[in-house]
Amino acid sequence: MELKQKGEDTSIDVSQPLTVTMEWTTAADFDLAAAYETREGEQGLVYYGDMGKLYEFPYLCLSEDEGVGDAGGTKEESLSITRLDGMNYVWLFCWDYGMVQRGQRARFNKSDVVLSIVDVFGNNVSVKIDTGEQGNVCCIATIDNSRPEGARFINYSQVGTLNGLKTLEQLVGIIRQFTL
């Protein structure tokens, strides 16, 4: 199933492990990352500088960094999720590393980035970056686990701008700006 429109969503089962995969062939150093907010309001970030932990908090763990040096060809980064029961939100995003370092616009409008989430039963939901907006970081999708009626996977496709990777607070602040 593909969520084609911004704001389109579907229910997902977060009682079992999930795998989020970001794939692209564009000659760009895109990075998959996840910002999160717990039920207690704690915020954090899993990215190439802090790959996370799979079997202890935050129960999110990234695979290796692909696309370093703007190399073209098939690239894939994955985020494994073992537990979400303590999370309200997980924001899944991509940034263009070189453009973030320079504070310049990314190449999202010329990219073929696709984000997919797959459960243990093989159910797959995908979102393709589809934005003409300018920026160098894109909140592609969100897992909203804050509602008693169940978790939702939402196509956000919102773009913002970072000028270097300075602090966790700055990164989480950018992600919160997308979703409020």
Structural domain includes residue 106:
yes
In which band, very low, low, confident or very high, does the pLDDT at 109 lie, cut at 50, 70 and 90?
Answer: confident
- Provide the mean pLDDT of the chain: 85
Domain count, the chain: 1
Structural domain includes residue 1:
no
Query: Residue 24: which domain range?
Result: 9-179
Three-class DSSP category at 101:
helix
Name the pTM for this structure: 0.88
State yes or no: pLDDT of 18 exceeds 90. Answer: yes
User: Cα–Cα distance between 123 and 94 in angstroms, integer?
Assistant: 22
State yes or no: pLDDT of 151 exceeds 80. Answer: yes
List, for residues 29-53, the tens digit of each pLDDT value.
889 999 999 999 998 889 888 899 9
Pairing label, strands 75-81, 151-160: unpaired
Structural domain includes residue 136:
yes
CATH of the domain at 168: 2.60.60.30
Comparing CA positions, the residue from 110, 142, 178 lying closest to residue 8 is: 142
Report the side by side order of strands in the sheet with 9-12: 9-12, 151-160, 137-144, 87-96, 30-38, 43-46
